[in-house]
Amino acid sequence: MEIPFLDLRAQNAALKKEILPQWEEILESAGFIGGKYVDLFEEKFAAACEVDHCVAVNSGTDALRFIMTALGLRPGDEVITAPNTFAATAEAIQQAGGTTVFADIDSKTYNIDPELITKAITKKTVGIVPIHLYGQPAAMDEINKIAEEHGLWVIEDACQAHLAEYQGKKAGSLGRAAAFSFYPGKNLGACGDAGAVTTSDGELASQVRSLRDHGQGRKYYHDLVGYNGRCDALQAAALIVKLRYLADWNEQRRAIAKQYFSMLVDANLVLPEISPGCLSAFHLFVVQVENRDNVMKLLSEKGVQVGLHYPVSLHMQKAYKFLGYKKGDLPVSEGVSERLMSLPMFPDLTPKQIEYVGACLKDIVGGVNV
């Protein structure tokens, strides 16, 4: 059996009939930028995330960058985030004019460790960017409490956590603002690049709205030094269709996770842990294994493809050397980056395919009752 890590073709084929008529209308009207589809998507996504405002932009990276630019980062301002994330989180901090400070993660949830945030706070700290990694919300109550005590803002990197929940509240509504990515492989994916900012702060939303469109309040009147960071109509129209299915797709992801959990409970590997009060969107299903290269090679020989998220902790990446971290500074993140492996995870996976992945993996790593 050949099991890809991610395959969106079945999903796209099923949605083609619903997306194409709207794309045709957009082609005929030539209304590619802005317009009713962008407005409608923003309205629907804000409602889905239970916030007052959504501003659609062209990527999750720009969503993060525009929020922090709008918050007025100044050179020297420190922003605390986790090192085991996609590079975009740190890129956005740097490009918005701040300095990235990494706090290590909790070894069970892989999310930023609130105690270590406290230790990383200095006089220069202005904000915290927790990532809801793999779809599980970070410890937002603790993080928001720390932020309040120190007068810091909190921005959620919710790029992997569409409709995830924390204590009954939606990801995207848990901090001052949140960034979402609709990169095709995300739980809600566009047919190209797109992203969004969610917030209930009206002032911040209008700043981001201006930043995404060259800082214009009205055409050719520029109030801010902005960017070309809009979400286009074709993407918005596709996202409106896909948003209708998102809750079901997330349920399917959770069902896949459940099957992995029950199959792998006795295997020689570390399963993910979901904290009480968290409803994960299971963007990824990660396990820790020893001798990962070998496990991956044996899985690949059986037709099972896996992913690595992420093979190198950001503080050990060439691009972030200038921050001055060295090996051993963030031991939890460094350790898991050598052992974590992401199993196939997308809504169209069948129980048979999951069973095959689980059986192959158990065969390879061994364990009790295997």
Binding site for ligand PLP (CB under 6 A): 59-61, 85-86, 88-89, 131, 157, 159-160, 181, 183, 193, 195
Give the shortest CB-132-to-ligand PLP separation in angstroms: 8
If the CB atoms of residues 260 and 310 are measured against ligand PLP, the closer one turns out to be 310
Concatenating the DSSP letter of every residue in 281-318 gives --S-EEEE-SSHHHHHHHHHHTTB--B-S-SS-GGGSG
Burial class (CB in 10 A: 0-12, 13-18, 19+), 319: exposed
CA angle (183 as vertex; 168, 361 as ends), nearest 5: 75
Q: What share of the chain is helix, strand, coil (3-state, %, to 5)?
A: 45, 20, 40
Give the shortest CB-258-to-ligand PLP separation in angstroms: 23
If the CB atoms of residues 196 and 364 are measured against ligand PLP, the closer one turns out to be 196
Please check whether residue 285 is in contact with residue 342, taking contact to mean a CB–CB distance below 8 angstroms. yes
Give the shortest CB-195-to-ligand PLP separation in angstroms: 5
Residue number closest to ligand PLP, CB atom: 60
Secondary element (H or E) of residue 148: helix 140-150
* Residue 64 phi, psi dihedral angles, 5° rounding: -65, -45
Task: Give the integer Cα–Cα distance in Å for 217 and 259.
Answer: 51
If the CB atoms of residues 111 and 210 are measured against ligand PLP, the closer one turns out to be 111
If the CB atoms of residues 81 and 125 are measured against ligand PLP, the closer one turns out to be 81
Give the shortest CB-279-to-ligand PLP separation in angstroms: 18
Give the shortest CB-245-to-ligand PLP separation in angstroms: 19
CA torsion sign for 20, 21, 23, 24 is positive
Give the shortest CB-283-to-ligand PLP separation in angstroms: 8
If the CB atoms of residues 231 and 279 are measured against ligand PLP, the closer one turns out to be 231
If the CB atoms of residues 99 and 136 are measured against ligand PLP, the closer one turns out to be 136
Task: Give the integer Cα–Cα distance in Å for 128 and 131.
Answer: 10
Give the shortest CB-370-to-ligand PLP separation in angstroms: 33
If the CB atoms of residues 60 and 307 are measured against ligand PLP, the closer one turns out to be 60
If the CB atoms of residues 229 and 358 are measured against ligand PLP, the closer one turns out to be 229
CB atoms within 10 A of CB 99: 18
Give the shortest CB-1-to-ligand PLP separation in angstroms: 28
Cis peptide before 310 (omega within 30 of 0): yes
Query: Which residue in 190, 363, 349, 194 sits closest to 284, CA to CA?
Result: 349
Residue 187, both tokens: 């739980």
